[in-house]
Amino acid sequence: MIGDYDYSNIIKNLGDIQAELNFPIGQKTRYKTGGNCSLAVFPKNESEFKKAVEVLKNACPYETVGQGTNLLVSDGGFSGAVILTERMTDTRQSGNLYIAESGVKLSAVIKDMALNSLGGLEFAVGIPASVGGAVCMNAGAYGKSISDCVRYVVSSEGTFSKKDCKFGYRTSRFLEDKTPIIKVCFSFTPTEFDVSEEKIKNYTNMRRNPKGKSCGSVFRNEGYFAGRVIDECGLKGKRVGGAKVSTEHANFIIADDSATSNDIYRLITLIKEEVYLKKQIKLSEELTYLGKF
């Protein structure tokens, strides 16, 4: 028994699905800060994923995590279970349709797409996310979004057409409802390999992330460029403990090896307060949180 939940019994009910108690979930994020979750579950296919959700939803709080790119885990960890999708990596192509399980790396989809003479997602090269995470937050760049290429999404609650996914700027029904994504069907455009390869090369050259350990863009660009606004408030280089605002791009927070999740959270809070005070703009995060802050 851990806290109010009987995780030993939960593991028993999970059967053959791999699970681990007191797992260092913070180390799965890009920042590599934060504590442990009470239980980590590693389904390896759709049936195991559905069974894990069925067991956990009535047993304890739970969340789903892909690559943890834009996730900040509390230093106190998470009192609940985390379903990690890293073992769910099956893909299948049928004509211009490409189906990928939620744990597949977005970069792998883009590479495979080009090799199979399909195009449309090249703009996303360099976005360090899993398919599930990217679709959940409707990741994008250069005026394009993942949802541009989505045909339908299979989740723990059923299959949703693109329209029913409720995609918006850096959001979807899966983010708002915390509905776990199992797999995604993309619809791509037949494209010569050389054309896709050139686009990938160009987008790669355009993407110049600041040096250092970061989660990518911290704040959403909602009618303004968050990095520019933060810069205009004189916050480049601002530091809280082991976390600082990048001097190269103000919408990135860089963490050194001494940084804690609390340092990063306090710096995010400071930035929001300063920007509102000086610009009357309420910044909202792309980054998401796990645990209590």
Question: pLDDT per residue over 211-260, tens digit each?
Answer: 899 999 999 998 899 999 999 999 999 999 999 999 999 999 999 999 99
122: phi then psi, degrees, rounded to nearest 5: -60, -30
Strand intervals (E) in the chain: 18-23, 37-42, 62-65, 71-73, 78-84, 91-94, 97-101, 118-119, 140-141, 144-145, 150-155, 158-161, 181-187, 189-190, 239-240, 243-245, 253-255, 288-290
Q: Would the pLDDT of 110 be above 80?
A: yes
Name the band, by pLDDT with cuts 50, 70 and 90, for residue 206: confident
Domains of the chain: 7-84 (3.30.43.10), 91-206 (3.30.465.10), 226-290 (3.90.78.10)
Q: What is the pTM of this model?
A: 0.92
Query: In one letter, which amino acid is 185?
Result: C
**Active site members:** 170, 217, 286
Q: Could you tell me where the DSSP H helices lie in the chain? A: 7-14, 46-56, 106-115, 131-136, 173-177, 193-206, 226-232, 261-279
